[in-house]
């Protein structure tokens, strides 16, 4: 079974940057652009690059799971370890969205 890489890009009024960004991921098997109400040529540029375009209003950033003071390392170092979401939690998060495909 051949696996392909999918790239998702969230945009709003990114006309100046989107063409360069899309060119940098053209190796991907699927490019999805989720636009949150652009008023410039962002959607047109994405379609020209054969990206699948969804339009979804921005709902804000997700709330952090912990308070910032709990994220500080106990040993006093200024470096912190990045965390990753499990595939299951990502699936739950994105299953709440109901984006529509633009014609």
Residue with the larger pLDDT of the pair 97 and 15? 15
Residue with the larger pLDDT of the pair 4 and 23? 23
Residue 90: closest CA among 66, 60, 62:
62
Residue 10: closest CA among 51, 50, 48, 66:
51
Residue 18 · residue 11 · CB < 8 Å: yes
* pLDDT digits 0-9 by tens, 43-70: 999 999 999 999 999 888 877 776 655 5
For residue 42, the SS3 value is: helix
* Domain boundaries of the chain, sorted by first residue: 1-59+85-103
* pLDDT digits 0-9 by tens, 11-45: 999 999 999 999 999 999 999 999 999 999 999 99
């Amino acid at each position: 079974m051949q696996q392909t890489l999918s790239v998702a890009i969230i945009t709003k009024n990114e006309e100046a940057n989107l063409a360069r960004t899309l060119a940098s991921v053209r190796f991907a098997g699927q490019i999805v652009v989720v636009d949150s109400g652009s008023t410039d040529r962002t959607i047109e540029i994405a379609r020209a690059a054969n990206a699948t375009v969804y339009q979804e209003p921005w709902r804000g950033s997700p709330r952090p799971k912990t308070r910032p003071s709990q994220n500080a390392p106990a040993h006093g170092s200024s470096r912190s370890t990045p965390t990753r979401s499990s595939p299951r939690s990502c699936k739950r998060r994105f299953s709440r969205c109901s984006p529509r495909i633009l014609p």
